[in-house]
């Protein structure tokens, strides 16, 4: 089914447009992913599937999808793609960012780790290939293709899109703002929340060791919020885009911290001992990178603990543009 955006008025119309767009995006990269020549193809296919999931979640009240094409099924496939993608990101960081900076002895230790990483990647690619050639993925494609030719909607799909936008977006924004990860690195004094100041690199590392999983979960919430906001960006103006860019920044900064922890965990697992024992220079670089990311985090962290920022975010969601700019 092909829809022209300037003829899309209802919730159902826009649901079909979004699903079609992201479905076509991940299909475009499927053949090259199976050839396994360029990591970027895998990245783009994974992004397409993530955004398809977000569109399906965002428009869930309006759409009646067949079981093989439901969000959970897509999530299972995206997770397998993600495991391979994570290994590609890890290898690129080790090989291009860190290895050239290490002394000879540490480079030899890192070569052993890279060899293990390649073995794990081969296993992960085999799983991706099996998945993309398997029944669940083929059923997903067939089901979505059929649905797009003749979409099935719930009654609410007939509502004008602008009348229901706040109801679609507000729950996800609330999930983001209510996440306990905002309180990592803070203290409560006299009933007020204050961000801990002037932490040393060692203190930051301790904070991240204790609460890293919470920040990682906040990052995932930011990512879900970002993808859902992007689905509806046509309906809002400059303030909306400013908040969207900040949500992207939250995801990016917390992603840098998470990447460092994944790298350190992989190194420890591969070396079967603490990374500092074999790769002290690399360990120090990761500590420094975490400290820098923590400093970047402070400003946006402070902004989103400000009640005015949070109130303005909520209020903006309630006021989509009167007209859509095409």
Question: pLDDT digits over 18-48, tens only?
Answer: 999 999 999 999 999 999 989 999 999 999 9
Among 273, 272, 279, which residue's Cα sits nearest to residue 106?
A: 279
Helices (H), 191-235: 201-231
pLDDT tier, 325 (very low <50, low <70, confident <90, very high otherwise): very low
**How confident is the model at residue 7, as a pLDDT?**
67
Q: What residues pair up with 186 in beta bridges, in sequence order?
A: 195
**How confident is the model at residue 87, as a pLDDT?**
95
**How confident is the model at residue 5, as a pLDDT?**
53
pLDDT of 101 over the 80 cut: yes
Q: What residues pair up with 194 in beta bridges, in sequence order?
A: 187
195 within 8 A of 268, measured Cβ to Cβ? no
Q: Which helix (H) or strand (E) holds 186?
A: strand 186-189
Rounded to whole angstroms, the Cα distance separating 117 from 234 reads 42
Q: What are phi and psi of 149, to 5 degrees?
A: -70, -35
Among 74, 212, 65, which residue's Cα sits nearest to residue 151?
A: 65
Q: Any long-range contacts for 188-196 (C-beta under 8 Å, 24+ apart)?
A: 193/305, 195/298, 195/301, 195/302, 195/305
Which residue has 């089914």 as its token pair?
Answer: 1
Q: What residues pair up with 189 in beta bridges, in sequence order?
A: 192
The CATH superfamily assigned to 1-159 is CHAD domain (1.40.20.10)
pLDDT of 322 over the 50 cut: no
pLDDT tier, 104 (very low <50, low <70, confident <90, very high otherwise): confident
Q: Which residue has the higher pLDDT, 232 or 301?
A: 301
């Amino acid at each position: 089914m092909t829809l022209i955006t300037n003829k899309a008025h209802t919730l159902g119309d826009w649901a079909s447009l979004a699903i079609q767009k992201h479905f076509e995006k991940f299909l475009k990269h499927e053949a090259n992913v199976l050839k396994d020549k360029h990591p970027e193809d895998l990245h783009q296919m994974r992004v397409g599937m993530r955004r398809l999931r977000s569109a399906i979640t965002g428009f869930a009240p309006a759409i009646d999808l067949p079981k093989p094409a439901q969000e959970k099924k897509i999530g299972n496939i995206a997770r397998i793609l993600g495991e391979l993608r994570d290994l590609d990101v890890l290898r690129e960081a080790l090989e291009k960012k860190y290895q050239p900076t290490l002394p000879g002895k540490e480079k030899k230790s890192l070569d052993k780790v890279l060899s293990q990483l390649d073995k794990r990647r081969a296993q992960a690619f085999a799983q991706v290939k099996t998945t993309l050639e398997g029944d669940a993925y083929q059923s997903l494609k067939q089901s979505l293709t059929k649905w797009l030719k003749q979409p099935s909607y719930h009654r609410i799909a007939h509502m004008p899109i602008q009348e229901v936008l706040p109801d679609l977006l507000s729950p996800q924004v609330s999930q983001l703002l209510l996440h306990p990860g905002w309180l990592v690195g803070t203290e409560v004094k006299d009933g007020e929340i204050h961000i801990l100041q002037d932490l040393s690199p060692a203190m930051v590392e301790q904070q991240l060791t204790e609460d890293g999983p919470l920040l990682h979960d906040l990052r995932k919430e930011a990512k879900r919020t970002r993808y859902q906001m992007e689905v509806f960006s046509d309906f809002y103006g400059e303030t909306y885009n400013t908040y969207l860019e900040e949500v992207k920044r939250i995801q990016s900064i917390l992603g840098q911290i998470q990447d460092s922890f994944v790298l350190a965990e992989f190194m420890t697992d591969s070396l079967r001992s603490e990374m500092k024992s074999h790769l002290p220079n690399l360990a120090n670089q990761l500590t420094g990178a975490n400290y820098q990311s923590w400093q970047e985090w402070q400003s946006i962290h402070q902004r989103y603990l400000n009640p005015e920022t949070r109130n303005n975010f909520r209020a903006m969601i309630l006021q989509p543009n009167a007209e859509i700019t095409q």
